[in-house]
Chain A
Amino acid sequence: MKRNAVAFGTGALFAAGLAISGMTKPSKVVGFLDISGAWDASLAFVMLGAIVVHFIAYRVVMRRPAPLFDFKFHVPTRKDIDLRLMLGAALFGVGWALGGFCPGPGLVALGGGSLNAVVFVVGMTIGMLVEQVAARALARRKAD
């Protein structure tokens, strides 16, 4: 109960940050990606603010033996650069630029009642399920 309430509150804080920073407006996102137009550098400052805070806090938090509600941290440790990573990131950038939404702002704008965001999240959900089914099928074929 307490865990879920904290998860909810953390999500709410994350969403407030996105709304305050203007990232819930696709025009701000596409304005950043439009380097040869009237470039709006705001998104770089959002990332800067988030990275500075998390860079420091990450180092403080990880000194603990475990998080508060779990017996260990679940932080990715992979270091390999593979085709999946490159292709996935490349595709993500294309979709991000076409719609002006990434997953976080898409979900916040969905809550804000934006029809575009509803359609975006429906598409995103289908896209994720397709990838998961394809990845499972590939893994099965490899195992045979």
Chain B
Amino acid sequence: MNDFTPISALVGGALIGLAASLLLLTHGKVAGISGLYGGMLRRGTSDRAFRFWFLGGLVVTGGLVKLMFPAAFATTWSATLPVVLAAGLIVGFGTQLGNGCTSGHGVCGISRLSVRSLVATATFMLTGFATVFIVRHLLEGSR
């Protein structure tokens, strides 16, 4: 798994930052994916159409990337389906409770120097490190 790719990471990251900036310039909204998706689910959200189209852009592009560059999804590790389901439940509940994820807190919030987002990002990084350590090194005992 030791395949460090700093150049493509920086280039891709810059595009993510650019997309977040364009969303702010045009719609005045924060490009937090969990917030946009959660708001689309919530009753009484006024800007559902905008959320639907932005998130639709994510999903449709996923399909195009699969057709043109399938290697983008060539993961060398996958969780089992029951674990992925549990992961989804926890991510869904946690991001709604904590008002954000890697994009909303990690990218947009830190760029604004928001203290809430800095604290949230440090917290989910720490519990992420701890979870992988426990699952991979204590429970599975690999490496």
Task: Name A residues whose Cβ lies closer than 8 Å to a Cβ of B.
Answer: 3-28, 30-31, 33-43, 45-55, 57-58, 61-62, 64, 66-70, 72-76, 78-81, 84-104, 106-116, 119-132, 135
Asked if B53 and A90 sit within 8 Å, CB to CB, the answer is no
Asked if B92 and A19 sit within 8 Å, CB to CB, the answer is no
Asked if B63 and A111 sit within 8 Å, CB to CB, the answer is yes
Asked if B53 and A7 sit within 8 Å, CB to CB, the answer is yes
Sorted nearest first, the 6 A-B pairs with minimum C-beta distance are A88-B98, A123-B88, A11-B57, A127-B92, A111-B62, A21-B12
Residue of A37, A93, A100 touching B127 (CB-CB under 8 A): A93
Asked if B98 and A43 sit within 8 Å, CB to CB, the answer is no
Main secondary structure of the interface of B (DSSP, over half): helix
CA distance A101 to B120 in the complex (A): 17
Question: Given A7-B50, A73-B28, 6 more contacts at CB 8 Å?
Answer: A27-B1, A37-B132, A42-B8, A99-B88, A100-B79, A102-B91
Residue of A26, A52, A119 touching B85 (CB-CB under 8 A): A119
For chain B, which range describes its interface: under 10, 10 to 19, 20 to 34, or 35 or more residues? 35 or more
A6-B26, A98-B86 known; A31 and B1 CB under 8 Å?
Answer: yes
- Which residues of chain A have C-beta atoms less than 8 A from B90's C-beta? 91-92, 94-95, 98, 127
Residue of B10, B25, B74, B75 touching A45 (CB-CB under 8 A): B10
